[in-house]
Amino acid sequence: ADLTHIRNFSIIAHIDHGKSTLADRLIQRCGGLTEREMTAQVLDNMDIEKERGITIKAQTVRLDYTAKDGQTYELNLMDTPGHVDFAYEVSRSLAACEGALLVVDAAQGVEAQTLANVYQSIEHDHEIVPVINKIDLPAAEPEKVKAEIEEVIGLDASEAVLASAKAGIGIDEILEAIVTKIPAPKGDRDAPLKAMLVDSWYDPYLGVVILVRVINGVLKKGQQIKFMIGGTEHLVDRVGCMRPKIEQLPELGPGEIGFITAQIKEIAQTRVGDTITTVKNPAAEPLPGFKEVQPVVFCGLFPVDANDFEKLRDSIHKLRLNDASFSFEMETSAALGFGFRCGFLGLLHLEIIQERLSREYDLDLITTAPSVVYDIHMNNGELRQLHNPADMPDANHIDHIDEPWIEATIYVPDEYLGALLKLCQDRRGIQKDLTYVGGRAQIKYELPLNEVVFDFYDRLKSISRGYASFDYHQIGMREGDLVKMNILVNNEPVDALSMIVHRGAAEARGRHMCERLKDLIPRHLFKIPIQAAIGGKVIARETIAALRKDVTAKCYGGDITRKKKLLEKQKEGKKRMREYGSVQIPQEAFIAALRMG
Ligand code: GDP
Ligand code: MG
């Protein structure tokens, strides 16, 4: 298409502010799908996305819009993932656009996630079109939200479009604003090919599909292309766009967004942010902004039923076909048997993978406590990266330990501020900033990631009755007074329950864990000590009393059918128990003990 008739934009919104609903409206208005083909929210196409109402993978769709000036424009709408775990993907999607719609809920106002994305958008020099959505709601306060956009973000909101994606209000105004306000892309058709790899996914029919934004040159079927960072070469066998149905095209020219397939077998070969060029006439250098994505949260995944190990392995391999951002390696645990140590971009990413394994592959799993990656500086100068508390070297050989820190931005209504500050303080937070914006506080805290991965987000939501919003980014490694805490059951350490904790928090956490286990482990014929220990030093202790003889007698005496039933029940129970230092620990105990609270 003619460059001047192309508009590339993304939609920025906090979760639930109406991004997907608006995208659907735009598709519908531009005739991308017939009424019958419009199932709700076509852009969110995974079950989990639909249920949780968040976008996990970026998708894009091309629309033809005939504007009031009589010209037909090619609009490329890029949907961006709506969660902090996928911040890098968001940055690449934004880099592929010239503008953005900033969708703000007329009843909720500006939220933390909105801000993070809007600042990124501004960094990419985007033209930003504010859209105040949900004006149909009785609680809508469009004027107040306009003022908030100006005050908080510093954007001129006087021409913000007032819309209701649900009721179909303001849709034409939004489309006109896209055409008139967002600039057309620039690019040189005669320069060597330079295209950004924005996203990729595995399609059962097409294989690996790559979403691209062409900067310079032309992408065509039959070209031999090269990934400048990944280093591999491939033959392009399909070029097209999504409307959102797939449509093949003769080429993608400068400024255009579309997809290619190139007989690529593994998604791991396609790195988001890589630059695609031709082998024959390569570009001089790759595009800026590429980043290697690294998992930041690790945990062990074990099958509840040890016989499911093979199934778990196959399922993990299959999932990995579609998501190269999680990593895994085999792990054995004395308590839990064979499983995998997996790495994720964040806690939500972990939950998604875990949920897909149980839902799509029908697996019952035990997840060990999530852990971040620590830099262990040894006395001999060696640096070790620790992903698993079980691999912690002897404390005598350690010089010091560095842990990852984040900067968190939290928005919270005034009445919950006190409780929230306490939560941050309890998690070793360092307050950096506290400002008020229209009845709400914006706080910035530096926090150790380790304190956030457990249950910070859940606590934040429950403290604020769901009203606080939270966003974070990593700010580097800092030295911490960290120790490995072991949990011993009947004097034997249970590897699956060991964790790295800050020395100051160890006692409280250890006590809590012992108390929980005391309730979770059934009584035996002997006394069972449960201890939390750092090195050889016990810091917390509970004891499960022995089962009294007469209780057993009562149980096993009496009528024969009842006895049989009991035996059967026991057998069943056995399967789901792991023996530890001659103590039978039910699987549920591990799961429940690891759930902090
Ligand atoms: P997203 O998380 O930003 O993609 O938000 P969704 O598009 O999934 O919308 C979140 C919820 O808000 C859904 O229940 C929508 O039906 C609802 N919603 C979206 N737009 C509007 C609107 O204009 N008015 C009202 N009343 N509800 C809306
Ligand atoms: Mg959505």
Residue 8 pLDDT > 90: yes
- 582 CA → ligand 2 middle, Å: 50
Q: How far apart are CA 289 and CA 127, in angstroms?
A: 20
Task: Write the residue with the smallest CA distance to atom 6 of ligand 1.
Answer: 18
Residue 597 pLDDT > 50: no
Q: How far apart are CA 539 and CA 485, in angstroms?
A: 9
Buried b (16+ CB within 10 A) or exposed e, 157-173: beebbbbbbeeebbbee
First-residue to last-residue Cα distance in the chain: 56
Enter the DSSP assignment of 547: P
Q: How far apart are CA 32 and CA 243, in angstroms?
A: 5
Report whether residue 133 contacts ligand 1, using a CB cutoff of 6 Å.
yes
- 134 CA → ligand 1 middle, Å: 8
Token pair of 109 as six digits: 């106002």
ipTM of this complex: 0.99
Q: Which ligand is nearest to the CA of 103?
A: 1
Enter the DSSP assignment of 588: H
Q: Which ligand is nearest to the CA of 114?
A: 1
Check residue 3 and give its pLDDT.
Answer: 93
Q: How many CA atoms lie within 13 A of 276 on its CB side?
A: 32
DSSP for 560-580 reads HHHHHHHHHHHHHHHHTEEEE
Report whether residue 114 contacts ligand 1, using a CB cutoff of 6 Å.
no
Token pair of 385 as six digits: 């990266």
Return mean pLDDT, the chain: 87
Check residue 398 and give its pLDDT.
Answer: 96
Report whether residue 19 contacts ligand 1, using a CB cutoff of 6 Å.
yes
Task: Write the residue with the smallest CA distance to atom 14 of ligand 1.
Answer: 16
Report whether residue 166 contacts ligand 1, using a CB cutoff of 6 Å.
yes
The pLDDT tens digits of the residues spanning 23-60 come to 989 988 997 666 656 555 555 555 555 555 555 555 78
- The neighbour count for residue 65, using CB atoms within 10 Å, is 20
Average pLDDT over residues 477-482: 96
Report whether residue 17 contacts ligand 1, using a CB cutoff of 6 Å.
yes
Q: How many CA atoms lie within 13 A of 229 on its CB side?
A: 19
Strands 365-367 and 297-303: antiparallel
Cβ pair 556, 507 in contact under 8 A: no
Query: Long-range contacts: 241-244, Cβ < 8 Å, 24+?
Result: 241/62, 241/76, 242/59, 242/60, 242/61, 242/62, 243/32, 243/33, 243/61, 243/62, 243/63, 244/27, 244/32, 244/33, 244/42, 244/43, 244/59, 244/61
Cβ pair 374, 385 in contact under 8 A: yes
Return the ligand 1 atom nearest residue 133 CA: 23
DSSP for 380-413 reads TS-EEEES-GGGPPPGGGEEEEEEEEEEEEEEEE
Average pLDDT over residues 430-446: 89
Q: Which ligand is nearest to the CA of 164?
A: 1
Percent of the chain with pLDDT over 70: 88
Picking from 500, 539, 487, 531, the residue whose alpha carbon sits closest to that of residue 370 is 500
Cβ pair 482, 500 in contact under 8 A: yes
Pick from 11, 15, 16 the residue to mutate for probing ligand 1's pocket: most ligand atoms within 8 Å of its CB. Answer: 16
Report whether residue 164 contacts ligand 1, using a CB cutoff of 6 Å.
yes
Report whether residue 320 contacts ligand 1, using a CB cutoff of 6 Å.
no
Average pLDDT over residues 245-264: 94
The pLDDT tens digits of the residues spanning 362-371 come to 998 888 878 8
The pLDDT tens digits of the residues spanning 282-304 come to 999 999 999 888 888 999 999 98
Query: Which CA distances in Å does 177 have to 9, 95, 128, 131?
Result: 11, 20, 10, 10
Q: How far apart are CA 141 and CA 85, in angstroms?
A: 31
Cβ pair 10, 24 in contact under 8 A: no
The pLDDT tens digits of the residues spanning 45-103 come to 555 555 555 555 557 899 999 999 999 999 999 977 767 678 888 889 999 999 999 99
Question: Position 563: which residue type?
Answer: K
Q: pLDDT class for 438, splitting at 50, 70, 90?
A: low
Of 113-117, 199-203, 446-450, 519-523, the least confident: 113-117
Return the ligand 1 atom nearest residue 165 CA: 23
Phi, psi of 525 (to 5 degrees): -75, -10
Residues that constitute the known binding site:
16-21, 133-136
Check residue 43 and give its pLDDT.
Answer: 55
Pick from 21, 38, 113, 174 the residue to mutate for probing ligand 1's pocket: most ligand atoms within 8 Å of its CB. Answer: 21
DSSP for 64-110 reads EEE-TTS-EEEEEEE----SGGGHHHHHHHHHT-SEEEEEEETTT--
Cβ pair 403, 372 in contact under 8 A: yes
Strands 224-227 and 233-235: antiparallel
Q: How far apart are CA 537 and CA 535, in angstroms?
A: 6
Q: For the chain, percent helix, then strand, then coil, each to nearest 5?
A: 30, 35, 35
Token pair of 433 as six digits: 């900033």
Of 209-213, 214-218, 380-384, 593-597, the least confident: 593-597
Query: Which CA distances in Å does 541 have to 42, 246, 533?
Result: 54, 62, 9
Return the ligand 1 atom nearest residue 19 CA: 3
The pLDDT tens digits of the residues spanning 118-161 come to 888 998 999 999 999 999 999 999 999 999 999 888 899 999 99
Check residue 266 and give its pLDDT.
Answer: 86
Report whether residue 169 contacts ligand 1, using a CB cutoff of 6 Å.
no
Indicate the Cα dihedral angle 508, 510, 513, 514, nearest 10°: -110
Q: pLDDT class for 408, splitting at 50, 70, 90?
A: very high
Residues that constitute the known binding site for GTP:
16-21, 133-136
Token pair of 569 as six digits: 């029940």
